[in-house]
Amino acid sequence: MDISTAKRQFLEYIEIEKGRSLNTVRNYEHYLDRSFADMGVKKVSDLTEDRLREFRLRLNRAPGQKVKGQTAGTMKKNTQNYYLIALRSFLKYCRKRNITALAPDAIELAKVGARHLDLISIEELHRLLSTPDTTSIKGLRDKALLELFFSTGLRLAELCSLNRDLDLSRDEFSIRGKGEKVRVVFLSDEAKDAIRQYLKARKDMEEAMFVNIARNLSTTLKAGKKENRLTPRSIERIVREYAIKAGISKKVTPHVLRHSFATDLLSNGADIRSVQMMLGHANIATTQVYTHVTDKQLREVHKHFHSKR
Q: What is the DSSP letter of 185?
A: E
From the list 43, 95, 178, 240, the catalytic residue is 178
3-class state of residue 29 by DSSP: helix
| Residue 88: Cβ within 10 Å count | 19
- Partner residues linked to 208 by β-bridges: 163
Helix or strand (DSSP H, E) at 186: strand 182-186
| Residue 301: Cβ within 10 Å count | 11
- Give 113-167 as a 3 state SS string: CCCCCCCCCHHHHHHHHCCCCCCCHHHHHHHHHHHHHHHHCCCHHHHHCCECCCC
From the list 7, 192, 258, 259, the catalytic residue is 258
> Distance between CA 158 and CA 5 in Å, rounded?
33
- One-letter amino acid at 252 equals V
Q: Would you call 290 a catalytic residue per the annotation?
A: yes
Nearest by Cα to 260 from 224, 225, 290, 228: 290
Q: Would you call 34 a catalytic residue per the annotation?
A: no
Q: Are 278 and 186 in contact (CB under 8 A)?
A: yes
- One-letter amino acid at 64 equals G
Q: Would you call 31 a catalytic residue per the annotation?
A: no
From the list 7, 20, 143, 281, the catalytic residue is 281
From the list 155, 192, 198, 259, the catalytic residue is 155
Q: What is the DSSP letter of 205?
A: -
> Distance between CA 83 and CA 138 in Å, rounded?
41
Q: Would you call 178 a catalytic residue per the annotation?
A: yes
List of residues 6+ apart from 261 with CB closer than 8 A: 149, 150, 151, 152, 153, 279
Report the greatest alpha carbon distance in the chain. 73
Q: Would you call 255 a catalytic residue per the annotation?
A: yes
Q: Which residues are catalytic?
A: 155, 178, 255, 258, 281, 290
